[in-house]
Amino acid sequence: MAYSEGNPHILFFGLDYRGRVCGEKSLSGFDARYWVNAGQVVTSVMSNPANFFDSKSVCLKQCPRVNEKTTSNYTVLPWVCNYPDGYGPSDQFPDPHQTGAASPVPMTYTEWARRKYNYFDLLTPEQKTSSLNLQGPCFPVLMKTTNQYDVCQPYGGIIGRSDNSRLYKVWTDMGGKSVDDPGSIVENSVFSYIGDGVRVMNRYMNDLTNGWLVVLVCGVGVTLVLSYFWLFLLKLFAPLMAWLVIIVANLMSIALTALLYLKAGIISADSIDAFVGTDYGDDLPEDFDSSSKNKDTLLICAIVTTVFTVCLMAFTFFMISRVKLALRCLEVGRKALSKAPQVMIYPATFPFLFGVGFIALWLFAIVHIFSMGNITQRECTIDQNEALFIGLGGNPNCGAREQCQCGYDVEVNNQMKYMGLYFLFALLWVLAFNNGFTKLVVAGAVAPYYWNRGEMQDSPLSGSFKNAFKYHQGSVACGAFLVSIVQFVAILLKFLEKRMKAMSTNSAVRYIWYCINCCIHCLKRLIAFITGQAYVMIAIEGKGFFKSAMRAGGLIAANALKSAAVQIVGDSILALAKLSVVIGSGVACIAILENKEYYHGSLKVTSPLTPCIASMIISYLLSSKFFAVIETSIDTMFLSFCLDCEKNGKPLLAPPVLHAMMDSDEEE
């Protein structure tokens, strides 16, 4: 229904004075929207800014240009006239491609464009007089324009208006009506229209279309290269990288604390001050030192960071033995993946392609849903001043102050908003299911490596996939449902927060929302962590979602410090790797778009923002899938280790790397 009734063009392109979408059907190729009557725009906007959309606009192939060479003697005045068929077919001219109401000029749109939209010389004397009074059907081009995102943006003001010279003098000598653009109303109105969200979206979509190859190369190619490079580094330097992260975190915390004490004036005299320059404040009493409050604030921050640094150092010292376990889990997980390299490739194939394909399908559907609006004529009030610009060029089917002279707008069905919410939840649920199913398959592929004492079974990936697909889709759907509910509620609360902050500036309201956002964020992280660990336990024991979640929760609670060390070390290294991959993708995108072919011509990209953001999003999705394999293998080895210790009292079935590590050496 949305595909058949929706029209995405109405979201991105403008409407002409007859309510037609620029660039569609009979206006194919006529993409640029141009407001023809500067006098009408000024009068309408001064009456009511919303009336700007009731000013007459047409769709052109190219924006009208004032050729200064042919007008150097100011004997030629450019014109833009109504469509050849005016306001549509009439009894006299039934063919809309020839002529119609309020336009007795029998010509096609192609001929009209070839004449640069000017048939002023073919008008009757009465119509020429009406045009000189800015009532149409032809209107003078008194301002320079340039095509910006399929909108003709006027600039430079009315040519010669200030001293009645140049082009404006040609206009007035012909008997043209006085017209002015005070405060650049015309320019600013069109500029605001271009800056509207829909216009910006149109520009971004165009940039994305022209730069799709760059997005693909950087989002996929560069990401894969950098991801495998990081895998190589983890293979060689995983322990070094882990300890480096821990040491750097402690040193940065110490450095921050020292810097705060320094600037607060506690360590030395190198404190902040409020004086600008070097000639003031030498003899000023301390009571007049405006920086004293800032120093007190910095001292408080220094004390807080001191407490944090002490806790961090104590935590690091206390967790050294647990960090060794985390590194061994990382090592075992890496070895398991090295014996089943197809597992590393799997997330970058079907899960990634499915996720990207579903997002593309979702975007296609949501655009069509929100474009299921109807083009209707606006209900406007035309005052006496505005009516002065409606004459023989206006709609002949009604009077100058009646509604049929108003502009057109798109009336979107409000019920589609609720359909949009439904599609949003579906997107969150399907993506969560895709992530959960991928984690379950990977965990099922690497878990036997632990329980077989370091030996990998035959065809681990295909076996795990068949097992997950056949027996555990319901469990994955259940966990994905919980994750998507929390995400959906968080999005709704974010929207509600913006609405409430716009209505109230009360600081208490903002504080309450900070607390709510903090709680929601913690809940999201908690649910995501529990479901992830539940998927691993499903792969290990084959039980249902809730039983596996409780089982995983019990093992983690019994080994809380070990779990914390594994999560901190693993997440820190992988987060650093993921961040570097995404940034590398963005840098590569910007570098490629510096090529001259993206500055001019059919592949022109107005801004690298959209292609590079799209590239980084794809890079994030792909690298997340890639590094999720390593993260899942670490979680699988750790939970297997904990389960082994619970059942046997020690890691009896563990691979050789973990077998030598007894549980008694870890407990304190």
Q: In sequence order, what DSSP letters do the residues of 325-345 get, joined into one string? A: HHHHHHHHHHHHHHH-HHHHH
> Token pair 């271009």 is at which residue?
194
Q: What is the pLDDT of residues 7-31, one digit of tens each?
A: 666 666 778 888 888 888 888 888 8
Same domain, 586 and 507: yes
Same domain, 402 and 486: no
Q: Does residue 432 sit within a domain? A: yes
Residue type, 205: M
Range of the domain at 521: 322-371+414-666
Q: Does residue 629 sit within a domain? A: yes
| List of residues 6+ apart from 402 with CB closer than 8 A | 382
- Cβ atoms of residues 619 and 356 within 8 Å: no
Q: What is the pLDDT of residues 391-425, one digit of tens each?
A: 777 777 777 677 777 777 777 666 666 777 888 89
The pLDDT of residue 421: 82
Backbone angles phi and psi of 306, in degrees to 5: -65, -45
Backbone angles phi and psi of 167, in degrees to 5: -65, -35
Q: What is the pLDDT of residues 306-351, one digit of tens each?
A: 888 888 788 777 766 666 666 777 777 777 777 777 887 787 788 8
Q: Does residue 89 sit within a domain? A: yes
The pLDDT of residue 215: 81
Cα–Cα distance, 218 to 226 (Å, whole number): 11
What mean pLDDT do residues 368-383 have?
Answer: 72
Same domain, 425 and 385: no
Closest CA relative to residue 565, chosen from 329, 233, 334 = 329
> Token pair 């010669």 is at which residue?
160
In terms of DSSP bridges, do strands 57-60 and 32-35 run parallel, antiparallel, or are they unpaired?
A: antiparallel
Cα–Cα distance, 22 to 32 (Å, whole number): 7
Same domain, 460 and 532: yes
What mean pLDDT do residues 613-639 have?
Answer: 83
Same domain, 400 and 503: no
Minimum mean pLDDT among 585-589, 593-597, 633-637, 662-666: which range?
A: 662-666
Helix (H, G, I), strand (E, B) or coil at 144: strand
Cα–Cα distance, 300 to 265 (Å, whole number): 12
Largest CA distance in the chain: 105
Q: Does residue 405 sit within a domain? A: yes
The answer to whether residue 302 scores a pLDDT higher than 50 is yes
Estimate to the nearest angstrom the gap between the alpha carbon of 405 and the chain centroid: 38
Cα–Cα distance, 215 to 268 (Å, whole number): 51
Same domain, 599 and 450: yes
Beta bridge partners of 147: 152
The pLDDT of residue 388: 76
Residue type, 15: L
Same domain, 390 and 350: no
What mean pLDDT do residues 162-180 have?
Answer: 80
Q: What is the DSSP letter of 23?
A: T
- Position 62 confidence tier, pLDDT thresholds 50, 70, 90: confident
What mean pLDDT do residues 496-519 have?
Answer: 79
The answer to whether residue 555 scores a pLDDT higher than 80 is yes
Instruction: Choose the most confident range, by mean pLDDT, from 236-240, 512-516, 534-538.
Output: 534-538
Residue type, 30: F
DSSP string for 209-268: HHTHHHHHIIIIIIHHHHHHHHHHHHHHHHHHHHHHHHHHHHHHHHHHHHHHHHHTTSSS
Beta bridge partners of 152: 147
Same domain, 355 and 393: no
The answer to whether residue 257 scores a pLDDT higher than 50 is yes
- Position 620 confidence tier, pLDDT thresholds 50, 70, 90: confident
Secondary structure element (H or E) that encloses residue 423, with its range: helix 415-451
Residue 516 structure tokens: 């709510």
Count the domains in the chain. 2
Q: Does residue 289 sit within a domain? A: no
The answer to whether residue 64 scores a pLDDT higher than 70 is yes
Omega of the bond leading into 656 within 30 degrees of 0 (cis): no
Same domain, 403 and 445: no
Q: Which one has a higher pLDDT value, 97 or 188?
A: 188
Write down how long the chain is: 668
Residue 468 structure tokens: 């997950």
The answer to whether residue 464 scores a pLDDT higher than 80 is yes
Q: Does residue 210 sit within a domain? A: no
Estimate to the nearest angstrom the gap between the alpha carbon of 612 and the chain centroid: 11
The pLDDT of residue 99: 44
Per-residue burial over 192-228, b = 16 or more CB atoms within 10 Å of its CB, e = otherwise: ebbeeeebeebbbebbbebbeebbebbbbebbbebbe
- Cβ atoms of residues 360 and 264 within 8 Å: no
The pLDDT of residue 475: 93
Beta bridge partners of 146: 153
The pLDDT of residue 295: 60
The answer to whether residue 239 scores a pLDDT higher than 90 is no
Same domain, 487 and 620: yes
Same domain, 345 and 385: no
**Average pLDDT for the chain:** 76
Q: Does residue 244 sit within a domain? A: no
- Position 273 confidence tier, pLDDT thresholds 50, 70, 90: very low
Same domain, 397 and 444: no
Estimate to the nearest angstrom the gap between the alpha carbon of 305 and the chain centroid: 35
Q: Does residue 168 sit within a domain? A: yes
Q: Which pTM value belongs to this model?
A: 0.65
